[in-house]
Amino acid sequence: MLNVSLVIPLFNEAESLPELHAWIVRVCKEARISYEILLLDDGSTDNSWDVIQSLKKQDSAVRGFRFRSNYGKSAALNVGFAESRGEVVITMDADLQDSPDEIPSLRSMIMDENYQVVSGWKKKRYDPLTKTIPTKLFNWATRKISHLSLHDFNCGLKAYHCEVVKNIEVYGEMHRYIPVIANWEGFTRIGEKVVAHSARKYGSTKFGMSRFVNGFLDLLSLFFMSKFGKKPMHFFGLMGSFNFLIGAIMACWITTEKLICVVKNVKAPLVTDSPIFYVGLVAMIIGTQLFLAGFIGELVSRSSPERNNYNIKEKTD
């Protein structure tokens, strides 16, 4: 088995690819690391694919994959993970902001220090404030929700034991949360390493401010699916029952108040004149809808062919 698989998604990075390839080759040869380089062209509109083909002719360790359209970084990583053949899988961006000099130490942390995932931390960044401030807020929110004490979830430079990447699925914009996904799948030996960060040398960034909003929504989705994906009734049923109970208590309150007035022969106000009536009615309706949503979710979950798929760490025959 190869020592390292380098999985590198790219979009319109033709200028940086030759320099990145030469840098990786030099580092791996100096460290005597056997390697393969998986270059995943995510629907580039420049001549990135021509450059990849040229690099393949120079170096048989280069493997190119070209998408018909721009599917996103998560899709590229998912394909790269499936195709990787190394005992350690290292991901990095193709824009030369991630340093290949980190490859030997990242591999060592996986193989010698027994980590399953090592996440890079760009402690000193060369990005504008419009990017660094939202990144800090994003990382803070992710730490609070995931309970993982990593400083930089969005760093593209990460290392994984091959077992990790073969047992997780990355989709949507979940590439930011691979350590979180791995942790929830039972890979708990997760470390962090301060890595070098360089200013972009060619072109411009391919990500806008919308990635932070989308990323946070993806985190909430990931959290819900990990906790309640196979048992939606535990969430919707609980919320529905709680709402329905609140509405029922309000209805009982109004009814009791009405009966007391009748017994005392006092003119009782109309039930519909009380705002509590409408609040209780809405709570009961919402509670019923949430409960039904949970019931339908259970039906869908039980019909899924993957409902009983679980990762088995090891077994004895």
pLDDT digits (tens, 9 = 90+) for 199-247: 666 666 655 556 666 666 777 776 776 666 667 787 888 888 899 999 9
189 and 156 share one domain? yes
Name the domain boundary from 174, 209, 228: 228
146 and 66 share one domain? yes
Total structural domains within the chain: 2
Is 317 part of a structural domain of the chain?
no
Name the domain boundary from 228, 253, 276: 228
103 and 221 share one domain? yes
Q: Give CA torsion, residues 58, 101, 205, 149, to 10 deg.
A: 140
Amino acid 42: pLDDT: 92
pTM: 0.73
Is 308 part of a structural domain of the chain?
no
45 and 141 share one domain? yes
Is 61 part of a structural domain of the chain?
yes
Is 16 part of a structural domain of the chain?
yes
Is 215 part of a structural domain of the chain?
yes
171 and 191 share one domain? yes
In angstroms, the CA 96 to CA 8 distance is 11
In angstroms, the CA 17 to CA 4 distance is 19
In angstroms, the CA 109 to CA 159 distance is 9
19 and 144 share one domain? yes
In angstroms, the CA 141 to CA 144 distance is 5
Chain Cα centroid distance, residue 252: 46
User: For position 153, which CATH number holds?
Assistant: 3.90.550.10
- H or E stretch including 155? none
Is 251 part of a structural domain of the chain?
yes
Provide the residue type at 166 as one letter: K
Name the domain boundary from 228, 251, 271: 228
55 and 191 share one domain? yes
- H or E stretch including 30? helix 17-30
Q: Tens-of-pLDDT digits for all 317 residues of the chain?
A: 789 999 999 999 999 999 999 999 999 999 999 999 999 999 999 999 999 999 999 999 999 999 988 888 889 999 999 999 999 999 999 988 889 999 999 999 999 999 999 999 888 776 666 666 777 777 887 888 778 888 888 888 999 999 999 988 887 778 888 898 898 888 989 999 998 877 666 666 655 556 666 666 777 776 776 666 667 787 888 888 899 999 999 988 888 888 888 787 877 777 777 888 888 889 999 999 988 888 887 777 666 655 555 555 555 55
CA nearest neighbour of 43 among 75, 20, 18: 75
148 and 181 share one domain? yes
Is 89 part of a structural domain of the chain?
yes
**Euclidean distance between the first and the last CA atom of the chain, given in angstroms as a whole number:** 25
Indicate the length of the chain as a whole number.
317
133 and 180 share one domain? yes
237 and 221 share one domain? no
Quote the domain boundaries for residue 255.
233-303
- Contact between 200 and 95 (Cβ < 8 Å): yes
Is 310 part of a structural domain of the chain?
no
259 and 132 share one domain? no
89 and 178 share one domain? yes
In angstroms, the CA 55 to CA 292 distance is 56
